[in-house]
Structure 1
């Protein structure tokens, strides 16, 4: 009588059963094929087992548990793939609604045009005496805005393009830095740049928005919509 050793696994359940990503239907077929081959091998092993060394029940139970796990993982992967696709579509639709709107995104500069410019910052709770310092291309201070105490969160400010002495400066790019105090101690705050969304770019790593003067920015980096 030919025998099959009970010490060897019935089927390499944990092995990769698909080549590449494949479609959902392909994954389902592969999962069913694994189950069918497993059952065929199990029946064959039971029929040809050595009477003096019968198949261990614990081994059969373990193999069945592994098969169930693989099927469950395949179904979970299909579900996660569907959720990821749905999330990506929702992100794209959300980003599309931003086109034509001004947004605040991480950045430490702002563009002055026709005597108007805007920027922002992220304010932690308990911050007061907020000060915005605007500098030119040489790093020299052009204007200081004392904004006092503001609510926590993303805040937007505007600049009229004038120096501390009221002299209008030329259009262009200017640097911004934000400071404040928390419990009496001076802190540097995260500056935000303001720009208008002109387009959206979907990608495998998430949706990005095209912001005028700032380039591509991750949708998740948008701190405020104006």
Structure 2
């Protein structure tokens, strides 16, 4: 005689349910199917009400999908170094220059930002003088188009 594994009995199965404050599409369909299976045959569920519930569920699901897509788009734009540093185009930046061969510090150099790119998640500023520097190497930023006087003598009315 063969013995039957007791773990195969439904009464021995552990079932834990986690209540959810939201109702998703699958949950709604389960409720709807249960309603249809257990309805009174002499007074069936109103078909218009069922179609209305399905339309409401579909609309809600589409709105949720759109919101999720917008959130993902916004997060991807906030993460982009190019977007983050694009306001630097046209600005004068000062940075510590280094000798490319020896790595020795040279003088602080100033040049205008003409483009922003990225490499491995880092923003790289392309400068008018042909140099490319990481955005975190900037020591000072100024408006390249400003004609700000340096002293009171330069102000004329």
Bigger helix share: 2
TM-score range, shorter chain: 0.3 to 0.5
Relative to the length of structure 1, the TM-score reads: 0.32
Q: Which structure: larger Rg? A: 2
Relative to the length of structure 2, the TM-score reads: 0.43
Bigger strand share: 1
